[in-house]
Amino acid sequence: MSKDKAYLIDISESMRIVVSHMGDATFAAFIADVAKMDAVNRRLEIIGEATKRLTPALRSRHTDIPWQKMAGIRDRLIHGYDKLELDKVYDAVTKVIPPLIPKIETILQAIPDPE
């Protein structure tokens, strides 16, 4: 399996997991549930790190995906944890990530498995 495919699998799985963790939680419910916040933040870190590891060639072929923002969220979670804007995390998980899942999975399906 190519490294890009492995990283896209990590991204896709983590996106699905954060959406599942969030469910239909309101923002107030999200910030009141430390375990949920921690689980979501960890998966966002994985999405960001896996995005950074994708080849530039793959990223440049799919300019409709906000790769830079996806990679950047990891840095904000790790290095700016004390200044984290939870409303932006909530919006990312409830508004930005869901429509990206099918796009990531389409890219993933287009990468052939080596025979």
Q: Provide the annotated active-site residues.
A: 74, 79
CB burial of residue 30 (10 Å; 0-12, 13-18, 19+): buried
Burial 61-74 (b: 16+ CB within 10 A, else e): eeeebebeebbebb
Two tokens at 65? 């995906």
Cβ contact 16:101 at 8 Å: yes
